[in-house]
Amino acid sequence: MKKGYFGDFGGQFVPELLMPPLLELEEAMNTIMTTREFQREFADLLRDCVGRPSALTHCPNLSKDTGVDLWLKREDLNHTGAHKINNTLGQALLTKRMGKKVLLTETGAGMNGVATATAAAMMDLECVVYMGAVDVERQALNVRRMELLGARVIPVESGTKTLKDAINAALRFWIAEQGNTHYCFGTAAGPHPFPLLVREFQAIVGREARQQFQDKTGKLPDVVCACVGGGSNAIGAFHAFVPDESVRLVGVEAGGTGEPGCYNSAPLNLGSEGVLHGMKSMLLQTEEGQILPSHSVSAGLDYPGVGPEHSALHASGRAEYDVINDTEALNAFQVLSRREGIIPALESSHAVAWVLENKDKLQGKSVLVNLSGRGDKDMDIVERVLG
């Protein structure tokens, strides 16, 4: 495989000025991250500060309701409430070891922003977070959390004022401030080596889940299912299962409202190959290569691109990708809350909804859903939409 590529996807489509920090990061991955000392410190942090291993929970009520043997990998129980902290703590530790002082990131739902601000506070680093102005409004609670944690949150007013625009702004900041700053990319996308780096830090999700599932049931699940925004929780959940041919891997993209004139956030199902944010991947774009505005009720899935490894898994057929719309996700948000006492993030609700919508085809099968985050941040928006 070509360096920095997954099949035909990936690469480093960046301005010349971004090559030095990307090469520096790759060097740090090869020298610092591979040391026993780094790995030991990271493992200690995941155990003592994140609360890993996260639980694997069986859902008895929903299993009875649906006829599907449903299990949840509980990333919602992590410190700060989502899978994002696995990656931000790893990158913050690397930043510290690289001798840099500022942790820069972008955020959509605010979970990556909160997780980065938390890691920065722990490592005594400054934190700068770019966030689309629309997301600043719809995820207001997380903005307050980031500010309390000491981060500078900068609203982005360009484009659709969502995640894509926040990444553009963060990349511009990095070009100017690279000497002292590490860009803590929040998902398994962007130019090489970010898709690989983020997968390395998130792969613990699938490693733990595979072992826990075997310990509890004596076998592997029939299906592993996760929502896909940029793709970090899904690639983290899938990675350990890729060699297990009996296990179906299902990524769930966001379908938006489905109304005319509303663009969805499902580039693997409805997009084409192109270049965005330094990577070649599947994108929502016009025939001329103009990026289309995405939409989803969940800010964390509201992105017109996807990480390159998912594009490769899609192209090879090893993973399948389906679409769940806003209404189905909102329904799953309520169903999981009422039937299992777990309030999921709207992002994760898409993965739960996939099981509910496909229950007839999944009768008697065991399905492991990666519950990527908790839903406190979404209470306002759900109440507004559902009335």
Q: Binding to ligand PLP by residue 206, rule CB under 6 A?
A: no
Q: Which long-range contacts (CB under 8 A, 24 or more apart) does 49-55 make?
A: 49/79, 49/89, 49/122, 50/78, 50/79, 50/85, 50/86, 50/89, 51/77, 51/78, 51/79, 52/78, 52/86, 52/204, 52/208, 53/208, 53/212, 54/78, 54/205, 54/208
Sign of the C-alpha dihedral computed for residues 205, 87, 81 and 137 taken in this order: negative
Please, what is the minimum distance in Å from the beta carbon of residue 41 to ligand PLP?
24
Tokens of 32: 């610092």
Stretch that binds ligand PLP, among 9-17, 25-33, 206-214, 231-239 (CB under 6 A): 231-239
Q: Binding to ligand PLP by residue 230, rule CB under 6 A?
A: yes
Catalytic residues: 59, 83
Enumerate residues 6+ apart whose C-beta is below 8 A from 300. Answer: 108, 109, 111, 163, 229, 345, 346, 347, 373
Q: Binding to ligand PLP by residue 195, rule CB under 6 A?
A: no
Q: Would you give the binding string for ligand PLP spanning residues 358-377, x where CB under 6 A is met?
A: --------------xx----
Q: Binding to ligand PLP by residue 254, rule CB under 6 A?
A: no
Q: Binding to ligand PLP by residue 21, rule CB under 6 A?
A: no
Among 106, 135, 253, 347, binds ligand PLP (CB under 6 A): 347
Stretch that binds ligand PLP, among 224-232, 326-334, 335-343, 360-368 (CB under 6 A): 224-232
Q: Binding to ligand PLP by residue 348, rule CB under 6 A?
A: yes
- Over its C-alpha atoms, the chain yields an Rg (Å, rounded) of 19
Among 11, 21, 90, 108, binds ligand PLP (CB under 6 A): 108
Q: Binding to ligand PLP by residue 111, rule CB under 6 A?
A: yes
Among 21, 90, 193, 300, binds ligand PLP (CB under 6 A): 300
Q: Binding to ligand PLP by residue 228, rule CB under 6 A?
A: yes
Tokens of 274: 């192109």
Q: Which of residues 63-92 bind ligand PLP (CB under 6 A)?
A: 82
Please, what is the minimum distance in Å from the beta carbon of residue 329 to ligand PLP?
12
Count of residues that interact with ligand PLP, criterion CB under 6 A:
21
Strands 366-371 and 102-107: unpaired
Stretch that binds ligand PLP, among 127-135, 153-161, 229-237, 284-292 (CB under 6 A): 229-237
Among 66, 105, 187, 331, binds ligand PLP (CB under 6 A): 187
Among 92, 109, 237, 356, binds ligand PLP (CB under 6 A): 109
Nearest-angstrom CA–CA distance, 283 and 277 = 11
Please, what is the minimum distance in Å from the beta carbon of residue 17 to ligand PLP?
26
Stretch that binds ligand PLP, among 94-102, 174-182, 211-219, 232-240 (CB under 6 A): 232-240
Query: Which residues bind to ligand PLP, rule: CB under 6 A?
Result: 82, 108-109, 111-112, 187, 227-234, 300-301, 345, 347-348, 372-373
